[in-house]
Amino acid sequence: MPPIGMLTGKVNFVDLFISLNGQSYPSVAAAKAAGAPTINYGNFINVLLTFVIVAFVIFLLVKGINRMRRPAPAAAPSTKACPYCATDIPLKASRCPNCTSDLQATPAR
């Protein structure tokens, strides 16, 4: 976290804490040595910032890998719609199996 500390004015997040017994201590280690209960919110901020940075780097990595992958070629259609009954039939069919219409003639509309 040194770059983040430099950006925030050389703040060491690990040393940020609240003593619950009302006394002030110079560091978390001194408070722990005195047996004082503390809320170490600086440690939470440190872990949260580390998580956000790692998550962003993984997001960029996955995005780059997905961009390099080529899309699969589209499969050629194997069916067509009957112009009379609108059901799907094979491309090579000359007569619709559902409405028995001749597919060689154009539909009259």
What is the arithmetic mean of pLDDT over 16-20? 87
Prediction pTM value: 0.55
CA distance 3 to 80: 61
pLDDT tens profile 61-108: 999 999 888 787 888 888 888 888 888 888 888 888 888 888 775 555
Q: Is the distance from CB of 91 to CB of 78 less than 8 angstroms?
A: yes
pLDDT of residue 86: 84
- Tokens representing 20 are 């619950």
Q: What percent of the chain has pLDDT over 90?
A: 17
3-state helix, strand, coil in the chain (%, to 5): 40, 10, 50
CA distance 82 to 97: 10
Q: pLDDT-derived band of residue 1, with 50, 70 and 90 as boundaries? A: low
